[in-house]
């Protein structure tokens, strides 16, 4: 089965079918979990950087697959198999449009952004990294964009270099440029920091790397839910994101890679569906994208992710970005008025994530008090321990917004933080 390519005339500047007005009340009705109460209080869910809630459209798409089209893909000749394959590959095309990739062959379904990074590390990285080579990451990476490169560098006798950040949680671009040397084999950087909310200057970082012939991988797990993504406009070589942060199911993610790079990379795993011919002497591998999708894939997850993309595009990516931007500024101002609260991260480049501490109260205690008020946040190191070390703290509390959050919920968060301060003195 061939994956459909977009028309050659498709513009990189996609039209956004945004409605004239973003109706958050209507959006909230799409998320059934928001109707519940926690400890007798209405649920206020502000842990979206960890995982987002799911609209009914996604839940229905998954249920419909299992109730009407459950079969394996690419193999069966019966009607259910054809239906499942069509839905699975349609989801790939939806993701291609979502990222503005040039070809659906460049969209690889993986379990998560983490697996996408590991795939690149083991396949692309292992191919081009030798003793003395260097991988360049940043000081604000999630563990998923640190550990795979550490393992690879240790195995190959290579070196992991780190771009520093300033006290405001912003990367030092002049230091980044100095770290790009003839030994640099790859740059791997977060598009948007999960621990600080910093939106990194990735377009400039890619430009500087490409001027030296260095490919760039972007971790878009946090950026994809909040920003319109254009991989061709950015000209990144690889881009990863997770479905569960994008209002889709858990266990599904996406790796985008430029076709020429993916073609040259060896398979990440071996097994069914990634082969063309197998003998005991030799295996001939399948075409892209299936070369990297060994075994039965997460079919319902891909279909659910496709439904999440449909949902976001129906609302309009620009409309979502505009609404969230206003809500986020409101949240920044509200939290800044809470006594003894310290906000971390860039004051000008922060998006989606508010990382803070409240006086000397441990973030876990803050999170517990908020939970009793029906407010779900995250407390801990956020899988970014080097960031915590740089800030000089062991942990932070983190509130992260989504398109269904409201100003009233932010007001309740601020009130609950004032109450936490009173309770703990």
Instruction: Give the β-pairing of 184-190 and 216-219.
Output: parallel
Q: Backbone dihedral region of 61: left (phi > 0), alpha (psi from -120 to 50 degrees) or beta?
A: alpha
Rounded distance, CA 192 to CA 253, Å?
17
Q: Of these residues, 43, 82, 151, 383, which one is catalytic?
A: 383
Long-range contacts of 78-83 (CB under 8 A, 24+ apart): none
CB-CB neighbours of 337 under 10 Å:
10
Instruction: Spell out the residues 6+ positions from residue 64 whose beta carbon is closer than 8 angstroms to its own.
Output: none
- Tokens 């301060």 map to which residue? 421
Cα-flanking dihedrals φ and ψ of residue 163, to 5°? Answer: -80, 120
Checking DSSP bridges between strand 353-358 and strand 341-344, what pairing results, if any? antiparallel
Residues 6+ apart with CB under 8 A from 255: 107, 108, 110, 115, 116, 119, 120, 238, 239, 240, 292
CA–CA separation, 122 vs 155, rounded Å?
11
What are 95's strand-pairing partners?
none
**218 and 203 Cβ atoms separated by less than 8 Å:** no
Q: Token pair of 386, please?
A: 């080097």
389-420 as b/e: b if 16+ CB within 10 A: ebbeeebbbbbbbbbbbbeebbebbbebbbeb
The verdict on whether 236 is a catalytic residue reads: no
| DSSP letters spanning 31-72 | -GGGG-EETTEE-EE-BTTT-----HHHHHHHHHIIIII---
So which residues are the catalytic ones?
383
């Amino acid at each position: 089965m061939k994956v459909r390519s977009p028309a050659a005339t498709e513009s990189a500047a996609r039209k956004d079918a945004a409605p004239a007005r973003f109706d958050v009340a209507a959006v909230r009705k799409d998320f059934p979990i928001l109707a519940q109460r926690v400890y007798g209080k209405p649920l206020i869910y502000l842990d979206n950087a960890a995982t987002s809630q799911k609209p009914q459209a996604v839940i229905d798409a998954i249920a419909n697959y299992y109730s009407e089209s459950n079969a394996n893909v690419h193999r069966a000749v019966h009607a259910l198999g054809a239906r499942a394959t069509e839905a699975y590959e349609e989801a790939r095309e939806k993701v291609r449009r979502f990222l503005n990739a040039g070809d659906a062959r460049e969209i690889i379904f993986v379990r998560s952004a983490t697996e996408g990074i590991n795939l690149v590390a083991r396949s692309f990285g292992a191919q081009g990294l030798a003793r003395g080579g260097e991988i360049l990451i940043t000081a604000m990476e999630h563990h998923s964009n640190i550990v795979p490169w550490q393992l690879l560098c240790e195995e190959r006798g290579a070196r992991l270099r780190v771009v520093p950040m300033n006290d405001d949680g912003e990367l030092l671009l002049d230091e980044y440029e100095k770290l790009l040397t003839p030994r640099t084999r790859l740059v791997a950087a977060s598009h948007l920091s999960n621990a600080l909310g910093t939106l990194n200057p990735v377009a400039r970082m890619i430009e500087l790397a490409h001027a030296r012939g260095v490919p760039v991988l972007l971790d878009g797990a946090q950026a994809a839910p909040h920003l319109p993504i254009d991989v061709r406009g950015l000209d990144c070589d690889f881009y990863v994101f997770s479905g569960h942060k994008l209002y889709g199911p858990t266990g599904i993610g996406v790796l985008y890679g430029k076709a020429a790079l993916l073609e040259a990379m060896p398979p990440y795993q071996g097994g069914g569906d990634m082969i063309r011919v197998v003998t005991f002497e030799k295996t001939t591998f399948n075409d892209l994208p299936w070369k990297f999708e060994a075994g039965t894939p997460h079919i319902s997850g891909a279909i659910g992710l496709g439904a999440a993309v449909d949902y976001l595009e129906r609302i309009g990516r620009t409309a979502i970005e505009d609404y969230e931007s206003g809500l986020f500024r409101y949240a920044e101002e509200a939290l800044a008025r809470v006594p003894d609260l310290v906000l971390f991260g860039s004051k000008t480049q922060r998006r989606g994530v508010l990382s803070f501490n409240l006086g000397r109260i441990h973030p876990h205690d803050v999170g517990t008090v908020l939970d009793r008020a029906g407010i779900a946040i995250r407390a801990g190191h956020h899988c970014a321990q080097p960031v915590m070390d740089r800030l000089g703290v062991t942990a932070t509390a983190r509130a992260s917004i989504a398109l269904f959050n409201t100003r009233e919920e932010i007001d309740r968060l601020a009130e609950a933080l004032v109450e936490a301060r009173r309770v703990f003195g």
